[in-house]
Amino acid sequence: MIKVAVYIDDNCWAGLAMLVKEAFAVAGTLHARNADLKASALFEVRLAARGKRPVRSFTGPALLPEATLDEAAGSDIVVVPPFFFADEQRKTITPRLRRWLIDAYDNGATLLSMASGVRLLAETGLLDGHEVTGNPSDQRVFARHYPQIRFTPEAPLVIDGRILSAASINPCIDACAYLVGQFVGDGAARKFSRYTNSVRHPTYERMALKNAAHKQHADQRIKQAQEFIERHFKREISVEEAARCSAMSLRNFSRRFQQAVGMAPHSYIARCRAEYAKDLLARPGMSILEVAQQSGFRNEVTLRRAFDQLLGTTPTAYRSANGSALAQRLEDSEKVSARTW
């Protein structure tokens, strides 16, 4: 059982704290094809707090902690949900909470901050030198108080090694899907993503999810390079640029990438573009040239060449052979998007 601790305290957003519990419960029922929550559970999710007293959430409803910080030690995933912050002052945390978060990370836990929750995580020092996202309104907070952290609020979801940050509600669901892929497997993540996400607008989060199976290795710098490629493949990035972002020589980077991922860096870039193009082909009104340009291929020739090498077919033939399935995916996604989560 994968252990998840969701940190709660006064003024936290109760909705997103509970969203984590429900999202991971849904992932289990979909994976097992069984509505019995206990029988299908993949994750043990507990609300963790400094004590056992009820916590007053931002809008008033009380949340009852299910574990103290000490009892939640050893969790595989630690989630810091959003909190209500009315000003741009630093939000200091207690030494106990700081130690708990640092110990969790040092012991191998994956950390996920949701929206303004990243401000609490920033106080630990664990984010120094890392890239994170969050509320655009917090940009001045990070510039003033945490200049050593790369704050990119324009990115919906940032995955920097074992540190994940989501800027708003939808990316929080995408982050859960990514974690399902990391801890359970790509098949379970795909089921969860199909249930919760629309495929009408391919995103970086979905690309990260599609590539989860290629990140089952221990080379953190190569994982960061993969995530850099997943965020930027739609522009003309090069292997040399990815190597520089990883602070490695081109030769060393290419060798380590091939060893860790099982393919060359340029092949990974082409794969990301081709996977994105496959989603764009679901749009019947989009021409092959538009698909090529929006997915990072300069023209139709390079798009066709990539499809031939990776899929053994052409974009036109792929659209024709999968047309009904792609249309059904769009119809299903619209139905899912219309539901209230």
CATH 3.40.50.880 is held by the domain 2-196: yes
Q: Check whether 63 has a pLDDT greater than 60.
A: yes
3-state secondary structure 188-220: HHHHHHHHHCCCCCCCHHHHHHHCHHHHCCCCH
169-183 helix and 14-32 helix, angle to the nearest 10 degrees: 40
The whole-model pTM stands at: 0.66
CATH of domain 220-338: 1.10.10.60
CA separation, residue 209 to residues 46, 167, 268, 286 (Å): 24, 17, 14, 24
Q: How far apart are CA 310 and CA 154, in angstroms?
A: 31
The residues of the chain that CATH labels 1.10.10.60 are 220-338
Which residue in 255, 151, 260, 164 sits closest to 209, CA to CA?
164
The residues of the chain that CATH labels 3.40.50.880 are 2-196
Q: Are 172 and 103 in contact (CB under 8 A)?
A: no
The string of pLDDT tens digits covering residues 20-59 is 999 999 999 988 888 888 888 899 999 999 999 999 999 8
Split at pLDDT 50, 70, 90, the class of 333 is: very low
Query: What is the distance, to the nearest Å, from the Cα of residue 105 to the centroid of all Cα atoms in its chain?
Result: 17
User: What single DSSP character describes residue 83?
Assistant: B
The string of pLDDT tens digits covering residues 207-252 is 666 777 788 788 888 988 998 898 889 888 899 999 988 889 999 9
